[in-house]
């Protein structure tokens, strides 16, 4: 059974940094593109970054481009999101997700079939 477990969230002041991790098990990690999504109450889940299985294709939403860096370590079945210069509008629940064989483009959440339970990020002003 596939599992994705996020960690690294927390409370940080604006301008600060956090590094999220997502550890995968129960499926062949390097068959899947991996994405990070975030959601705030009352809004749809927003895709903010994606990385293809071999790290040769990445995507960032305009809201995080230049501040966040996605990476993966296939030997450790782990996905990362380094978040720098955090802003209050980055506050939300952050989810990692896996999509089989995907190219990383702006994609809806429905393209990803495996999901973690999320980690909360709160940025105070």
Residue 75: strand, helix, or coil: helix
13-29 confidence digits (pLDDT tens): 999 999 999 999 999 99
Q: What is the mean pLDDT of residues 50-77?
A: 97
Residue 3's CB is within 10 A of a number of other CB atoms, namely 12
> Residue 78 — very low, low, confident or very high, per pLDDT cuts 50/70/90?
very high
Amino acid 24: pLDDT: 98
**What residues contact residue 105 under an 8 Å CB cut-off, 6+ apart?**
50, 59
Q: What is the pLDDT of residue 18?
A: 98
């Amino acid at each position: 059974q596939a599992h994705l477990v996020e960690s690294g969230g927390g409370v940080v002041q604006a301008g600060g940094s956090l590094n999220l991790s997502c550890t995968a098990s129960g499926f062949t990690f390097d068959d899947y593109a991996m994405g990070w999504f975030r959601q705030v109450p009352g809004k749809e889940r927003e895709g903010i970054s994606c990385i293809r299985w071999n790290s040769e294709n990445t995507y960032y939403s305009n809201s995080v481009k230049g501040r966040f860096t996605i990476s993966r370590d296939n030997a450790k079945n782990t996905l990362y999101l380094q978040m720098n210069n955090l802003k209050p509008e980055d506050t939300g629940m952050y989810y990692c997700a896996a999509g089989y064989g995907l190219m990383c483009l702006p994609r809806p959440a429905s393209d990803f079939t495996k999901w973690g339970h999320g980690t909360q990020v709160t940025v105070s002003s």
